[in-house]
Structure 1
Amino acid sequence: MVLFEKIEKGIRSNILKMEVADLNGKKIQDKVYNGMDKQSPIEFNGVNETELLYLNSLMDSPLLNPVVRVEDTVKEPPPSPSPVSSDNKDLLREVQIRCNRAYSRDARELADIINSVHFVSLLNTHDQIAQAHNKSDKHCNTPKLFPENMTGDTFRMVGVRKKPGEPLGLTVEVNENNNLVIARILEGGMIEKQGLLHVGDIIYEVNGVPVSSPEELQTEISKKKDHVTLKVGNALPSETHANIVDGTGQNGLTKKLTCYMRALFEYDPQEDTLLPCKEIGLPFERGDILQIVDQRDPNWWQAKKVGGDGTTGLIPSVELEERRKAFVAPEADFVHKISICGARISKKKKKINYQSKSSCDFDKAELLLYEEVTRMPPFKRKTLVLIGTQGVGRRTLKNRLINSDPEKFGAVIPYTTRPPKVLEENGQSYWFTDRETMEEDIKNAQFLEYGEYNGHLYGTHLNSIREVIKQGKMCVLDCSPMSLKILHNSSEFLPYVIFIAAPGMEQLKNLYDVGRSNTNLRHSSRNLAKT
């Protein structure tokens, strides 16, 4: 026993003298094995062969390996588990709903468990510990280089080359966070061509000067003539999502809609108080053809004139212009202010059934702002429509035109419900029909126009127009302006419309005097013939 005790002390002292950086039991065990198997890689000073035999038997002992593993486990504890979720209320509520809907025994048992007070308290305690664990991981000792809402690539410097007197082609607005945000980029402008800025980007500085309003931005940009440097921040996620949803974003879901419109009113951007910037407005006259390149903004469209210089500008949309035309100033609203003898005016709305015969009254109230057109190659017209006021000479011009070339022009034969006269044939001057049939065709919108005279109906049937077209002739019509809507919106008849303006007052007076003198001359000639 004395010998083995001495041997054990010597082995312990030699093991402590080993140059081991990390005191790990498994590593020490491997080194001892290697030292006994090889030619003295580890020097055991003062150890004889008997001591080595004892050490070998100690290393082979089945009790040593578990002790070494326990020691290593105590010295190197496993990493603490990280929580999967710190807010399990929604998950627990969803499980409760599903368990309540199920009819199985296991589901009811699970519902009783998760609804118990102890389980709910356990889950709340878990969430509190998980939230504290996540906060401890986030708040480290390293100093913050950027604010919490700022990333490493938040700012970028954008250089824009501009031409003197030419706008950049963008509009800005101040959002709810008091940031100057790009609201719109004009098609064909310098900003759109360079592609360095996008809708939703935030402008912080211009040439090193902070800006926070559109006026400050315009002032700083006007100071430089050829080059402008902008400090721009990326769009916030909430603003980017809003732009995508409403279609105003550069990569929005709503695509650009390109179409052509004929303007039916005049527009001067210098007199428009609603335009965000006067310089980017596009003036136009009545009858100009506009190419609409972007309709994503519900109030302002981006357009350019066909045949113009190609400059893109803003024009009011149909919705905005209708609201502007229908707006009544409070000081001019006499309908809702006036009451009779102190009586209160009823706010009840009277219901009126729509009647097709009153469609002309509704057409008078319609606002004609833009008319969509399309570019087409030259094609043959099928109908020639002469419109104008009564007595302007439409029928005379129609008869002269048909008599000049009967093979090229033709006229329709009207329908009537009056009985034929003596020597009248059906289809020569009129098509004779009964009143019930004609009224049924009128209800089915088979007549271009119709009227009643001396208790009989007269009208122009659409089949009569089709018969003239089938003969290879151009059908000449002298209908009223109210009937033009049926032909104008039809791709079957393809009308060519000519408006015959009434002469001036002096010409009307001369015509009246000439007609009056001719009437007197005829009366005098008749009197001479009688005598």
Structure 2
Amino acid sequence: MPALATGPGPDTGLYELLSVLPSQLQMYIKSTEDRSFLHTMFSSRGLHSLVKIHEELQHYKERCPAPVVDSAGALAEGVSEELQTKPLSADITELLKLLSKPHVKSLLSVHDTVAQKSYDPQLPPLPDDIDDDEDSVKIIRLVKNKEPLGATIKKDEKTGAITIARIMKGGAADRSGLIHVGDELKEVNGSSVEGKKPEDIIQILSQSEGAITFKVVPGPESEGPASEHKMYVKALFDYDPEEDKAIPCKEAGMNFRKGDVLWVMSQQDATWWQAKIEGGANPRAGLIPSKHFQERRLALRQTTSNTQPQKVSRKPSVLRRSFRLSKRGKKTNKSMYECKKSDQYDTADVPTYEEVAPYCRAHGAKHRLVVLVGPTGVGLNELKRKLLISDPQHFSVTIPHTSRAKRNQESDGVEYHFISKNLFETDLHNNKFVEYGEYKGNYYGTSLDSVRSVLTKNKVCLLDVQPHSLKHLRTAEFKPFVVFVKPPSIERLRETRRNAQTISGKGDRDSSRPLTDEDFQETITSAQQMEDQYGHLFDLVIVNDELARAFGELSQALKKVETEMHWVPVSWTQS
């Protein structure tokens, strides 16, 4: 680009230079849009203000200002003492009150720090008793409040040396950057640690507050840890370090509950991870068992448990009763069938942690599948019916498939999708069904395509299934939100289900009878078994104590599913 025409001299201010730039650039700008852009930019009040501020700062810097005094705090104290010897007038009283205010004292203290340029920390003097032949040591002073130091120690059984075993992420030791894994601890607050047990030293540190001085021999230098993958996991079990005999330091352990989202901050130790509860107030990480370690010991417990003699139940298996609702919300059909799926796939899993990521449904994206799970008699169909009635344009249910013949009053695709037995079995072989069963020689089932059909219509698909079917639905395609509906106490069941009836099949006919205490107890027992075995797959648990209250809780939760962020398996968010 050609040199600009001769403009203002080198002493001209930046503000004046910018004011003549547009005219200097005119000959090089051909586009009207570019000229308009330059004119708007150079005439901007914000730019003019910034330039003026820049020039004022430059003038201030050139003057090299120096403080009149570097001890304004002491001067203020002297003034206060002098004024107190004078007769107290209104002005003197006001000035004394002003000079005694904490924020004024703090302001003067900051002024003195800047004036004296005393920015370096005050370090303790080196001890006088360091031997010339002693290994090079570090004298470290940390200021500690009631929070733990955030480091664990161990004793070398051969040498007796006390060394730093791990530094907890986010703790006081980690934030200081002065203590490292492998450092050998020699003294704490001037007292030798020789001959002491790690528990004794931990007790000293836990009771110490304020400044703590350590004398350590630096450990072997090692390369800093590579940056770790930022991982969040959902806890699938409860954990209390006080009950864990294997944890190396109970004080460093972290409590969590099933369903908590944990930020795993370090996986350097293959057995004990460092993590904190996401969104928690504590910045310090705590020790938790690693996924591999927890899986190994839980699998071992299950193996031990399975070798014990088991009671053999002589009670026949319970048939699942499923009702499909028409668009009018009326009970139109009844089917009873035994589920043919095997539970072996689920019992082989050992729930520990599931890696998760934040997810929020984008506008216009397909709705998440809503899956209702619960024992027979808990009220799944009543809740589903109320949702359908509340907004039939938003909620819908699947239309089941059957191999039985169509009756005169039925229409294909309304009550059922009627297909041949051979086609049904072919689809079963090709894993096209979420679950299925057989009743009186005919197949009944819910297909994956029927779920897709509802979601494609931009509706929320409501589906109730047996809990062992959940794992076949937990895919990135469906992103299911699983709601477990559990019963209240047996007393409340007697009170709220007093007039309820159950249908039992006898031969080719069905008959109804009132529910008994045995039915209620079976519902409660079944719910407990479901929660024990599959609870780690549930996103929400609702107690159906009162239908209206349970419906309100469910409705509110489903609104949040559509508008708020939720933690989901990380594979659901990866393209």
TM-score, normalization by structure 2: 0.53
Q: In 2, distance between residues paired with 1:334 and 1:493?
A: 34
Equivalent residues of 2:404, 2:443 under 8 A apart: yes
Find the counterpart in structure 1 of residue 451 from structure 2. Answer: 465
Higher RCO (C-alpha 8 Å, min separation 6): 2
| Distance change >3 Å, CA 309–CA 434, structure 1 → 2 | same
Find the counterpart in structure 1 of residue 291 from structure 2. Answer: 318
Find the counterpart in structure 1 of residue 152 from structure 2. Answer: 171
What is the Cα deviation at residue 480 of structure 1?
1.6
Find the counterpart in structure 1 of residue 219 from structure 2. Answer: 235
Equivalent residues of 2:340, 2:437 under 8 A apart: no
Equivalent residues of 1:260, 1:291 under 8 A apart: yes
Q: CA-to-partner distance for each residue in 1:207-227, whole Å, 9 max, x for gaps?
A: 444325423533554575322
Find the counterpart in structure 2 of residue 370 from structure 1. Answer: 353
Find the counterpart in structure 2 of residue 386 from structure 1. Answer: 372
Structure 1 position 432 matched with structure 2 position 418: yes
Q: CA-to-partner distance for each residue in 1:4-50, whole Å, 9 max, x for gaps?
A: xxxxxxxxxxxxxxxxxxxxxxxxxxxxxxxxxxxxxxxxxxxxxxx
Q: In 1, distance between residues paired with 2:360 and 2:454?
A: 24
Structure 1 position 180 matched with structure 2 position 158: no
Structure 1 position 303 matched with structure 2 position 288: no
Equivalent residues of 2:183, 2:217 under 8 A apart: yes
Equivalent residues of 1:257, 1:292 under 8 A apart: no
Q: Of 477, 484, 498, which aligns to 1:492?
A: 477
| Distance change >3 Å, CA 424–CA 225, structure 1 → 2 | closer
SS at match of 2:381: helix
Q: In 1, distance between residues paired with 2:200 and 2:485?
A: 55
Equivalent residues of 1:205, 1:232 under 8 A apart: yes
Equivalent residues of 2:295, 2:351 under 8 A apart: no
Equivalent residues of 1:162, 1:168 under 8 A apart: no
Q: In 2, distance between residues paired with 1:336 and 1:426?
A: 52
**Pairing of 1:140-219 with structure 2 (within 5 A):** 154-175=135-156, 177-212=159-194, 213-219=197-203
Q: Paired residues, what number?
A: 340
Find the counterpart in structure 1 of residue 314 from structure 2. Answer: none
| Distance change >3 Å, CA 270–CA 256, structure 1 → 2 | same
Find the counterpart in structure 1 of residue 50 from structure 2. Answer: none
SS at match of 2:137: strand
Q: In 2, distance between residues paired with 1:396 and 1:220?
A: 61
Q: In 2, distance between residues paired with 1:445 and 1:271?
A: 43
Equivalent residues of 2:299, 2:350 under 8 A apart: no
What is the Cα deviation at residue 467 of structure 1?
1.1
**Pairing of 1:71-470 with structure 2 (within 5 A):** 154-175=135-156, 177-212=159-194, 213-219=197-203, 221=205, 224-236=208-220, 251-252=224-225, 255-310=227-282, 311-327=284-300, 359-377=342-360, 379=362, 381-470=367-456
Which entry has the higher C-alpha Rg, 1 or 2? Answer: 1
**Of Structure 1 and Structure 2, which has the larger fraction of its residues in strand?**
2
Q: In 2, distance between residues paired with 1:508 and 1:216?
A: 55
What is the Cα deviation at residue 188 of structure 1?
0.6
Instruction: Give the root-mean-square deviation of aligned CA atoms.
Output: 3.6
SS at match of 1:452: strand
Using the TM superposition, name which of 458-467 and 167-176 deviates more: 167-176
| Distance change >3 Å, CA 426–CA 502, structure 1 → 2 | same
SS at match of 2:215: strand
SS at match of 2:181: coil
Find the counterpart in structure 2 of residue 79 from structure 1. Answer: none
Equivalent residues of 1:157, 1:229 under 8 A apart: no
What is the Cα deviation at residue 458 of structure 1?
1.4
Give structure 1 regions of 4+ aligned residues with deviation exceeding 4 angstroms: 326-330, 332-337, 356-359
Q: Of 445, 463, 473, which aligns to 1:477?
A: 463
User: Which ranges in structure 1 are unaligned for 5 or more consecutive residues?
Assistant: 1-144, 241-249, 338-355, 522-531
User: Which ranges in structure 2 are unaligned for 5 or more consecutive residues?
Assistant: 1-130, 310-338, 503-511, 515-575
Equivalent residues of 1:450, 1:460 under 8 A apart: yes
What is the Cα deviation at residue 415 of structure 1?
1.4
What is the Cα deviation at residue 193 of structure 1?
1.0
What is the Cα deviation at residue 166 of structure 1?
2.3
| Distance change >3 Å, CA 197–CA 514, structure 1 → 2 | same
SS at match of 1:158: strand
What is the Cα deviation at residue 484 of structure 1?
1.7
> Once the two structures are aligned, what percentage of the paired residues are identical?
38
Equivalent residues of 1:318, 1:370 under 8 A apart: yes
| Distance change >3 Å, CA 304–CA 408, structure 1 → 2 | same
